Structure 1
């Protein structure tokens, strides 16, 4: 289930993916005020992680276009505990070989497809923030916000005005 907007009193996590070396000013403005930023891969430019870190602490994983020594320093997946949630980051959801329920994950975040989406299966929230970099086909340019509500994680897709 998708909520309309995160409450301003909750800790918000900005979720971005598939920037492909293009860190749009609209994305930076949208992320202002978040408590944490998660990048689900295909960063494209390591300097962009430093720019994002000026807004909030960043956790990032490597996507399939991320190559070279800087990218090798990024993990392929990450599991984080943030704001009472266990969050798993993986770039391509199709490569997930674990059972999120068995792992105790509340949220699985992926990118790769450039298609934004939020779905719930059982107790797991699946979030793809879409792509915030160059427009691909007719897909929207988006990022997402994630927060823990009273009973479960919530997310919203945020279209960027580009």
Structure 2
């Protein structure tokens, strides 16, 4: 079984609770609005890291980060993009099983047409009354599941 830790919208704040949750991940995907390069360095020490640039990642350190990434974990294709409204592929037609996004700060796990859409929510500064959260993706054989975890704040 593979455990992929999902995090998004850190906006420069990497909470200890988020780091604890991500420990033991086989891989980590960050859905953008990172905030600074130090966050990526810290996450990369935990597990191999895939990251996409968010709309607030505008400084020079973020220039090398792509807006989308397509990765394969255990034969399962995962597409990452910050803002789901800007998706530029047809996940079902392109054989993508999971789409990971961020941007809205609203955690959500939803399956549509055989594609699992996961937004881990925001792990950074609280926005409005939305929860502080992260998520995980579990892949075992061809089975894929995801769940969101609210962090104490």
1:49-128 residue pairs with structure 2 within 5 A?
49-128=40-119
Asked if the contact 1:18/1:131 (under 8 Å) is kept, the reply is: yes
TM-score between both structures, scaled by the size of structure 2 = 0.97
Asked if the contact 1:88/1:107 (under 8 Å) is kept, the reply is: yes
The Cα of 1:83 is off from its aligned counterpart by 2.0
TM-score between both structures, scaled by the size of structure 1 = 0.91
> SS at 2:93's partner residue?
helix
1:5-59 Cα offsets, whole Å, 9 max, x none, are: xxxxx22000000000000011001111111110000000111100011111111
> SS at 2:147's partner residue?
strand
Segments of structure 2 that go 5 or more residues without pairing to the other structure are: none
- 4+ long deviations beyond 3 Å: none
The Cα of 1:104 is off from its aligned counterpart by 0.6
Asked if the contact 1:132/1:143 (under 8 Å) is kept, the reply is: yes
Larger strand share, 1 or 2: 2
Work out which of the residue numbers 14, 37, 54 in structure 2 matches 1:46: 37
Q: What CA RMSD, in Å, does the superposition of the two structures yield over aligned residues?
A: 1.0
The equivalent of 1:160 in structure 2 is: 151
